[in-house]
Amino acid sequence: MKSLHLFLALCFTLGCPLLVQASCNNTFSEAPQIIIDVSDKLYLNNSVTETYQTLYNGSIYCDYAGLFKQNKIVNISGLESKYLDRNIYLKLNNKNILEIKVLDISKREIILNKEANTYNANQLNTEFIIKISAYDGWVNPSNIYDAHGNNQALINNLIIATDDSDIKVFTRFLKDLWVFITTFRWPIHNGDLFSQSVVIKFNNKETTCKFTNAGTTVTLPEINRTTLLSDNKTGITPFSLDFNCSFTLNNKTSNPIKAYLSSAHLTNDKKIMIDPSHQAAKGVGIGLSYLNNAVVFSSQQGQQEKATLLVNKKEGDKLENNFSLNLQAYYQVYNKNKLSAGQLNTTAIVNLDYF
């Protein structure tokens, strides 16, 4: 009993520093949301990695920590890949799947003085690196947060600054993972001081293509009458149609794309372009082949009719940003009885449809 009395007296004299329960607190505060718009960036590169700074504002008060304790604040995020064993995805615009990860938090632990003191929130602010990727592939629906057609989604409490003076935050954190996965919102507890939420925004854009070598002139060689009559296709000359496409995601088109050729003056089967001018050669015209098949032209610009589709992409089909179509031009006799000498000048128009 004497030793017990001695211990109690000692505690009364020294204030029992071993039993002091350190803590830092304030009224929990949500920082202004950070808007992360990756609309243009993801079309240039299929993933975006950027650094942002939390916007905590205000102050906190910490008690005296005691001899063997310390006042410590930790910044933590459940989207860090080292904690989360499966990826989190957003579904925006009813079709775009974005994978979200926090790669690093620069100020993970902030050790404060042992003495009771008030600290400015700026001391807790931290940079964090977030990676947003356009995902291409199947995703388990349980891992997707669906924004129900919206072009943006709020990730609540992406970064949380919490008091770690006396409790093991990471033990609690692991229990909170399941709540986040099912609700897309991190739970808030006593000891949580500040949180930083972010809004991820992605505006879906229609894929468009342009014909980059417009005005190309294809010159066929001179051919004599005998050669013209001896072969169905003569003077074969290869050429290419070059295209550049914008706003493809993971090299996929966001909408249908069709390309075909039209010409104003054609034979009845619409496979041969003719020159109607008075001085032009008669009975012979110019045909084109693509993938070893004769190209069928449309007789009206902007009207597909039964024209050969040089490009025929559905939404979600693979589409390179830059590609070329290799074709051949050749002479073709369509009326031997009217065959006559002269030049041929014909024009074909490249048509692009997006529906």
Model confidence at 140, in pLDDT bands (50, 70, 90)?
A: confident
Q: Residues 146-195: pLDDT tens digits? A: 999 999 999 999 999 999 865 566 666 667 776 776 677 777 888 899 99
Model confidence at 138, in pLDDT bands (50, 70, 90)?
A: confident
Model confidence at 79, in pLDDT bands (50, 70, 90)?
A: confident
Determine the 3-state secondary structure of 123 from DSSP.
Answer: helix
Query: Is the domain of 50 the same as that of 66?
Result: yes
Report phi then psi at 78, rounded to 5: -75, -10
- Alpha-carbon distance values, 20 to 6, 64, 157, 165 (Å): 19, 8, 30, 11
Contact 243, 212 (CB under 8 A): yes
* 185 or 335, which is more confident: 335
Return the structure tokens found at 224.
């004599």
Instruction: Provide the percentage of residues in the chain whose pLDDT is more than 70.
Output: 88
* 271 or 67, which is more confident: 271
Smallest Cα–Cα separation from 114: which of 72, 75, 161? 72
Cα 52–chain centre separation: 19
pLDDT higher than threshold 80 for residue 304? yes
The upper half-sphere exposure of residue 288, i.e. CA atoms within 13 Å in the direction of its Cβ, equals: 30
Which of 169, 201, 233 marks a domain boundary? Answer: 201
Query: Is the domain of 34 the same as that of 149?
Result: yes
Query: Is the domain of 193 the same as that of 81?
Result: yes
What local confidence, expressed as pLDDT, does residue 272 receive? Answer: 98
CATH of residue 217: 2.60.40.1090
Query: Is the domain of 183 the same as that of 225?
Result: no
Rounded CA-CA distance 183/157 in Å is: 12
Calculate the average pLDDT of the chain.
Answer: 88
Count of beta carbons in the 10 Å neighbourhood of residue 99: 18
Return the structure tokens found at 190.
């006593």
Q: What is the mean pLDDT of residues 240-268?
A: 96
Where is average pLDDT lowest: 56-60, 118-122, 138-142?
138-142
Query: Is the domain of 193 the same as that of 212?
Result: no
Residue 209 is classified by DSSP as: E
pLDDT higher than threshold 90 for residue 15? no
Rounded CA-CA distance 120/214 in Å is: 62
Query: Is the domain of 228 the same as that of 188?
Result: no
pLDDT higher than threshold 70 for residue 199? yes
Where is average pLDDT lowest: 69-78, 235-244, 261-270, 331-340?
69-78
144-146 vs 88-92, strand pairing mode: parallel
* 13 or 192, which is more confident: 192
pLDDT higher than threshold 50 for residue 14? no
Q: What is the mean pLDDT of residues 43-68?
A: 91
- Looking at the 3D structure of the chain, how many domains does it have? 2
| Residue 337 structural domain | 208-353
Report phi then psi at 87, rounded to 5: -80, 155
Return the structure tokens found at 3.
């030793």
Residue 329's DSSP bridge partners are: 237, 288
Smallest Cα–Cα separation from 302: which of 252, 352, 347, 242? 352
Return the structure tokens found at 240.
């290419």
Kindly report the pTM of this predicted structure. 0.78
